[in-house]
Homo-oligomer: A and B are copies of this chain.
Amino acid sequence: MARRSVGIRRDSAETRDRLLDTAALLLAERGTAFTLPDLARAAGISSATVYRHFADVQEVHREFYYRLIDELVDDLGNVSARARGRRRFEAICDRWAACAALWGRAATHIRSAEGFLARVHHADPPTSTLFGILEPAIEEIIEDGTIPAQETDYAVLIWITIFDERVIVDLSETLRWSTKRIARTLSASVLGALGGDPAA
């Protein structure tokens, strides 16, 4: 019985993941202009099942966004653990650009209207977790002299602002830059913006 219930929970989690994968495709293709029945049709799942997972389409957007930040945080946390100082900063930038090349277009449609620091200040969970990875990386490049001492709030804000998914999609699709060029150029811009010498 316990076994069966674990199986049901796993099926349910798989269905939810499949719905969020489909939501990502719909967001990328047509923005937020889809309904729960559209999502059901596109995923090949009954509307009744979709309504068991989500109360409305706003919940789909929110859950997609949370999953995306969770994945980004996992990815950045992994690369972050393997390097220190300036190399940690560059490793985070590389992975970030690679992630945003995958889900950036979907994410542009569900960007929060609230500021990044505002969300950190009232402890929005995914934003705070992301901040918790980026702030120590900034502290390290201050310590090793890559950038001068400064308010880390501002430094993290500028970092996430320059690595905006809309910017990454624009450089990739409009200027046809490679992910590598995007990561390298944006990371140099962040260091320059924070008073460092990117060529150093």
When the two chains form their complex, are residues B192 and A113 in contact, meaning their CB atoms are under 8 A apart? no
When the two chains form their complex, are residues A117 and B161 in contact, meaning their CB atoms are under 8 A apart? no
**Chain B residues with CB below 8 A from A70, complex form:** none
The distance in angstroms between the C-alpha atoms of A116 and B175, with both chains bound, is: 11
Interface membership of A198, Cβ < 8 A: yes
Within residues 110 to 165 of chain A, which ones have a CB less than 8 A from any CB in chain B? 111, 113-118, 121, 153-154, 157-158, 161-162, 164
Interface residues of A (CB under 8 A from B): 31, 108-109, 111, 113-118, 121, 153-154, 157-158, 161-162, 164, 166-167, 169-171, 173-175, 185, 189-190, 192-196, 198
Closest to A109 in B: B113
Given A158-B189, A193-B189, A198-B195, A174:B118 Cβ within 8 A: yes
Indicate how many identical chains form the complex: 2
Given A153-B175, A192-B192, A193-B193, A166:B113 Cβ within 8 A: yes
**Chain B residues with CB below 8 A from A111, complex form:** 111, 113
Closest to A164 in B: B161
The distance in angstroms between the C-alpha atoms of A157 and B40, with both chains bound, is: 38
Report A182 CB to chain B, min CB distance, Å.
10
When the two chains form their complex, are residues B190 and A117 in contact, meaning their CB atoms are under 8 A apart? no
**Chain B residues with CB below 8 A from A170, complex form:** 115-118, 157
Report A74 CB to chain B, min CB distance, Å.
25
Instruction: Return the contact of A195 from the options B114, B171, B192 (Cβ within 8 A).
Output: B192
**Chain B residues with CB below 8 A from A173, complex form:** 115, 118
Report A161 CB to chain B, min CB distance, Å.
5
